[in-house]
Amino acid sequence: MVNPKYSMGTCSICKKISATDNDHLHCVEKRRIELENLQLKDTITEKLDLGKDPNNMGKEIKALLGHMAREKESKSE
């Protein structure tokens, strides 16, 4: 007999069986990251308006460019 306190469900993100009635935590986190990436892609042109003032970049863009430069340097070594 199944304990009525616990109910099996289906994750609405990956459509697999979930031990709880909620979505899997890793699926929720993965979806949140995907949405943030989409939002960044949509707003990056607004944040990266170098035509006005190249020294006035947002801190997110500076961090992104710094990360990309470090990644490129490590691949070239």
Give SS3 for 75. helix
Does some domain include residue 3?
no
Domain that holds residue 66: 9-76
Amino acid identity of 3?
N
Contact 54, 38 (CB under 8 A): no
Q: Is residue 4 part of a domain?
A: no
pLDDT, position 53: 64
Domain total in the chain: 1
pLDDT of 2 over the 60 cut: no
* Assigned domain for 16 exists: yes
Entry pTM: 0.48
Q: Token match 């459509």: residue?
A: 15
**pLDDT for position 38:** 86
pLDDT tens by residue, 22-75: 999 999 999 999 999 888 877 776 666 655 666 666 777 778 888 888 887 887
Residue 77 has what pLDDT? Answer: 64
d(CA 31, CA 18): 16
Confirm whether 1 is domain-assigned.
no
Domain for residue 44, yes or no? yes
Quick check: is 37 in a domain? yes
